[in-house]
Amino acid sequence: MDPAMFATRTSNVSASIIREILKLTQGSDIISFGGGFPSPQSFPVEDMKRYNEELLAKYGKEILQYGTTEGFVPLREILAKQAEEIGISATKENILLTTGAQQVIDLMAKALIDKDDVVLVENPTFLAALNVFKMYEARIVGVDTDSHGLLPDDLERKIKEHKPKLVYIIPNFQNPTGVTTSFSRRKEIMDACGKAGVPVLEDDPYSLIRFEGEHLPAISSFDKWGTAVYASSFSKTVSPGIRLGYAIAGKDIMNKLVVGKQTTDVCSNNLAQRAVYEFMASGRFAEHVKDIISEYRPKRDKMFEMVERTFPKGTKLNKPHGGLFLWAKLPDGISAEQMLKPAIEKAKVAYIPGSPFYIDPSHGKDEMRMNFSNATLEQIEIGIERLGKVLSGKI
Amino acid sequence: MDPAMFATRTSNVSASIIREILKLTQGSDIISFGGGFPSPQSFPVEDMKRYNEELLAKYGKEILQYGTTEGFVPLREILAKQAEEIGISATKENILLTTGAQQVIDLMAKALIDKDDVVLVENPTFLAALNVFKMYEARIVGVDTDSHGLLPDDLERKIKEHKPKLVYIIPNFQNPTGVTTSFSRRKEIMDACGKAGVPVLEDDPYSLIRFEGEHLPAISSFDKWGTAVYASSFSKTVSPGIRLGYAIAGKDIMNKLVVGKQTTDVCSNNLAQRAVYEFMASGRFAEHVKDIISEYRPKRDKMFEMVERTFPKGTKLNKPHGGLFLWAKLPDGISAEQMLKPAIEKAKVAYIPGSPFYIDPSHGKDEMRMNFSNATLEQIEIGIERLGKVLSGKI
């Protein structure tokens, strides 16, 4: 087809580099720290099987019919109640069930972004969020960060300078850096955005997977202006294959998200919504999250310890308090990007180099993201050791 | 929130009028011919229960994990093979599983439409497709139609005049009119679009629900230019609640659709894909479609007969050869739009007036769409009789 027929937006985004790397590693003997996949051991297969069976037996005709765009009311109610734990006041009217939290990012961009509008993000940030904003032809501007999250001063300055339509933040165990935004920063960030009337999208898929320390109130919990939207997902706590996430939003934004979803996929999968409701209402969900934490904490510890032990001297590493990822900065002269090929070929280990997470992909070449949830403890031990040797030029 | 923060596109689309009418009728004693819902009796509850159970037992960890964006390979293979029956040559590489066929429309618009680009459509057409095109800020232009579908002359003329980015057509039992595009028109339409290099989206969710006559080759079967995309759905043949549809597309467009889906919802629900695969591979799907036809044909006949008998003289009505809808044009002076309120209040019957299906909603006020799949035979008999009385001014 004549390439001129395609919309301009499509030239901004190419197939996800992560998915391309994953394709290379599938079905092979390669140990992959590349994706953001949960552990297959963590999936509540038996629970899902039982709920699906019982629910289809009881409510089959309703479950197989169209659902409302907003989603299954009892699940919306339970999510509104759960939101209280992170300081968000919500009722079911504020909850929209979505086809993964990825859809929340897409619907928020659909609701807010005209071509050339500015979106402020942590830099680096979630690759697939950058791709959404590029699809909507936003101008993406990075805000400076440190180990406590976004710098409120820089945020204020950039709000004034760029008059953004959206600020996108991952407050807990950020993807890719693992950084958690501190309590005081959360309030300062919300104040800066709220006073300027700028919508905030708080993307929070990992917060329940916390290995140590206290849960912090959401950035949205400090929202007095009705401009914050909170997004989360069941991909890391139940299953990504069911494609279920949700948004918590005030009335004005909610109306736009709902209309956006109507034109996008009408409603979310009913069986997934009902099964997750049963899982939460029974209390099994909370137990299950504890099991995930018990599985992932030693993996994080093992990966951290092995990286410290085997990576070249001068590697910088921070220990995330939760989530799925370790982020490392290699010492001068070692390029994580250039080492990927030998890592896959010689060490049979895959990871994601830092560049695709940056707005300007010429950055982050000496950084790398390693996922610790999907590999086994043994794979982490062997894989990181091998990777350390490749990075140190020993194999 | 400051309304100025919202994207311009959002002012083009409001909440679906159909969904709003449906909300009014839910849980009440109103007989609704309003929605496009399949019959709950038609859902393969037992099959889905069995497949879900067996599949989770066998492949639970894979099913609950992320899937590929393109979808489950064996289902893509079986769909490619099934496409041969309507003359389309495809391999699994040409198939993308989607979150309903609605997502195909959204992804096609995302791939092709820049602001102010022209989309040509049958007028009237599927309301939710119009809303997608409005969301992408397209200029929507209607092509003249008759009882055999789009008029190729007018299509050619409008392609020359408007240089559209997309032609959108529902070839079988069109929503809302029930019209089926004739064999010869299909080839003429494809020729007109192909020669001009204009992409065609052939939206075909109803074709298997054919009550009489032969299946016709798809418009896409005449594509020698690689510009046609075929879309279909399991919403009318299996279940809308599982949210599963698919696109068949050539390589160039497929790449854009896949990248679009990556940024939108990553992948489709795995369990739904596997269950539908089992349903098709076992041969149960084909039997099940026959059952649906056996259920819907008498409903179409009953509704047609009752409208003929009870609606005001001069009502124009065509008998669709399949699908879910009857379309009527009331005689001069009777407004389907104005009669909706008395119909709901006095006759306790709901339908959709014609206007929202038109590009210019000042048209179609004397037309109405009535769904015959969701109501029972008895409800059709009683409901249409009452509606006839209201429209004739008898109650």
Return all residues near A111 (Cβ < 8 A) that are at least 6 apart. Answer: A253, A256, A257, A260, B6, B7, B10
Which residues does residue A369 pair with via DSSP β-bridges, in sequence order?
A327, A352
Burial zone of B212 (CB within 10 Å; 0-12 exposed, 13-18 middle, 19+ buried): exposed
Q: How many domains does chain A have?
A: 2
| Mean pLDDT on A326-334 | 94
* Residue in A with minimal Cα distance to B64: A241
Nearest to A13 by CA among A109, A176, A136: A136
Same domain, B175 and B60: yes
Same domain, A96 and A210: yes
Same domain, A49 and A36: no
Of A40, A63, A128, the CB nearest to B65: A40
pLDDT the model gives residue A16: 67
Q: Give the DSSP H/E element, type plus range, for residue B384.
A: helix B377-391
- Reply yes or no on whether the pLDDT at B27 is more than 70: no
- Could you report the per-residue pLDDT of B321-332, keeping only the tens digit for each? 999 999 999 998
Same domain, B359 and B378: yes
- Reply yes or no on whether the pLDDT at A202 is more than 70: yes
Q: What is the mean pLDDT of chain B?
A: 96
pLDDT the model gives residue B14: 78
Of B6, B100, B265, the CB nearest to A102: B265
* Residue in A with minimal Cα distance to B39: A65
Which CATH number covers residue A278?
3.40.640.10
In this structure, the strands spanning A367-371 and A118-122 are unpaired
Interface check A340 vs B, CB under 8 A: no
Interface check A167 vs B, CB under 8 A: no
pLDDT classification of B25: cutoffs 50, 70, 90: confident
Interface check A228 vs B, CB under 8 A: no
Reduced 3-state DSSP string for chain A? CCHHHCCHHHHHCCCCHHHHHHHHHCCCCCEECCCCCCCHHHCCHHHHHHHHHHHHHHHHHHHHCCCCCCCCHHHHHHHHHHHHHHCCCCCHHHEEEECCHHHHHHHHHHHHCCCCCEEEEECCCCHHHHHHHHHCCCEEEEECEECCEECHHHHHHHHHHHCCCEEEECCCCCCCCCCCCCHHHHHHHHHHHHHHCCCEEEECCCCCCECCCCCCCCHHHHCCCCCEEEEEECCCCCCCCCCCEEEECCHHHHHHHHHHHHHHCCCCCHHHHHHHHHHHHCCHHHHHHHHHHHHHHHHHHHHHHHHHHHCCCCCEEECCCECCEEEEECCCCCCHHHHHHHHHHHHCEECEECHHHCCCCCCCCCEEEEECCCCCHHHHHHHHHHHHHHHCCCC
pLDDT classification of A224: cutoffs 50, 70, 90: very high
Interface check B58 vs A, CB under 8 A: no
More confident: B165 or A16: B165
Same domain, A36 and A54: no
Burial zone of A333 (CB within 10 Å; 0-12 exposed, 13-18 middle, 19+ buried): exposed
CA distance A153 to chain B (A): 23
In this structure, the strands spanning B245-248 and A349-350 are unpaired
Q: Do B6 and A256 touch (CB under 8 A)?
A: yes
CA distance A65 to chain B (A): 5
- % residues pLDDT > 70 (chain A): 98
Of A19, A63, A262, the CB nearest to B69: A19
- Reply yes or no on whether the pLDDT at A24 is more than 80: no
Of B9, B136, B265, the CB nearest to A100: B265
Cα dihedral sign, A268-A270-A271-A274: positive
Same domain, B120 and B260: yes
Q: Do A5 and B165 touch (CB under 8 A)?
A: yes
> With contact defined as beta carbons under 8 Å apart, do A208 and A234 qualify?
no
- Could you report the per-residue pLDDT of A42-84, keeping only the tens digit for each? 999 999 999 999 999 999 999 999 999 999 999 999 999 999 9
Same domain, B255 and B303: no
User: In whole angstroms, what is the distance from residue A157 CA to residue B252 CA?
Assistant: 42
* Domain edge (last residue) among A261, A283, A305: A283
Q: Do A35 and B69 touch (CB under 8 A)?
A: no
Burial zone of B295 (CB within 10 Å; 0-12 exposed, 13-18 middle, 19+ buried): middle
More confident: A116 or A21: A116
- Is the ipTM higher than 0.90? The answer is yes
Domain, as residue range, for A367:
3-44+286-391
The one-character DSSP state at B346 is I
Same domain, A56 and A203: yes
User: In whole angstroms, what is the distance from residue A368 CA to residue A349 CA?
Assistant: 13
Q: How many CB pairs under 8 A join A and B?
A: 260
pLDDT classification of B139: cutoffs 50, 70, 90: very high
Q: Do A262 and B16 touch (CB under 8 A)?
A: yes
Q: Do B19 and A69 touch (CB under 8 A)?
A: yes
Of B64, B110, B117, the CB nearest to A241: B64
Return all residues near B21 (Cβ < 8 A) that are at least 6 apart. Answer: B34, B340, B350, B352
pLDDT classification of A28: cutoffs 50, 70, 90: confident
Interface check A11 vs B, CB under 8 A: no
Interface check B274 vs A, CB under 8 A: no
CA distance B371 to chain A (A): 15
* Domain edge (last residue) among A258, A283, A308: A283
Same domain, B176 and B309: no
Same domain, A124 and A268: yes
Nearest to B357 by CA among B145, B210, B201: B145
Same domain, B223 and B279: yes
* Domain edge (last residue) among A224, A252, A283: A283
Q: Do A271 and B135 touch (CB under 8 A)?
A: no
Which CATH number covers residue B37?
3.90.1150.10
Nearest to B278 by CA among B249, B241, B244: B244
Interface check A10 vs B, CB under 8 A: yes
> With contact defined as beta carbons under 8 Å apart, do A173 and A215 qualify?
no
Same domain, A206 and A300: no
Q: Most B CBs within 10 Å: which of A52, A58, A64, A72, as the mutation test of the B interface?
A: A64
